[in-house]
Amino acid sequence: MTGTSKSIEIYVDADACPVKDEVYRVAERLGLKVHVVTNSFMMVPKSPLIERVAVAAGPDVADDWIAERAVRGDVVITADVPLADRCVKAGATVLSPKGRPFDENSIGMQLATRNLMTDLRSAGQTTGGPPPFDKRDRSAFLSALNQAVVRLKREGFSTG
């Protein structure tokens, strides 16, 4: 693949994403297009690189919009494991807001864990939630996003 054939784009599953500001900063610094996908009103910075995509309310509408567009050379930011699975299968680089990569080697176990926890909750079990998001998570995310972009550039994808 040549460096100019595909620009890296970032897709953000934005409704509950705690790292949107970090994505915006990285995108501006590197000249990356960002699609902020939400089913509610959300302010985004005024920038030709940042597009707010408002989708209809409903289950999986934002996920479907992202999954239909994300391809190899793109980065998807989501905590939604089923969406991550769809995007990994499409060849996209997928990161959680805590910087954890979703990839072909890990997505099966992550889906199984998610499904088990969903089943336990629906059976009345109290499973607790994830630990609070903190500065280390934010730092891990920034590092993972930078590493993902560097790797994609080495593979021949372009920025800006």
Q: What is the pLDDT along the chain (160 residues), one digit of tens a residue?
A: 444 479 999 999 998 899 999 999 999 999 999 999 999 889 999 999 999 999 998 889 999 999 999 999 999 999 998 999 999 999 999 999 999 999 877 766 666 565 566 666 677 766 666 678 889 999 999 999 999 999 999 999 998 7
**Number of domains into which the chain is organized:** 1
Say which CATH number the domain at 39 has: 3.40.50
* Residue recorded with tokens 């997928």: 94
| Model pTM score | 0.85
The β-bridge relationship of strands 101-102 and 93-95 is: antiparallel
Task: Locate 34 and state its tokens.
Answer: 């960002």
Domain membership flag for residue 2: no
Residue 4 lies in a domain: no
State which residues form the domain around 76.
9-154
Q: What is the DSSP string of 92-150?
A: -EEE-TTSPEE-TTTHHHHHHHHHHHHHHHHTT-----PPPP-HHHHHHHHHHHHHHHH
C-alpha to C-alpha distance for 12 and 70, rounded to whole angstroms:
11
The Cα diameter of the chain in Å comes to 53
Residues whose CB falls within 8 Å of the CB of residue 23, separated by 6 or more in sequence, listed in order: 10, 12, 17, 34, 77, 145
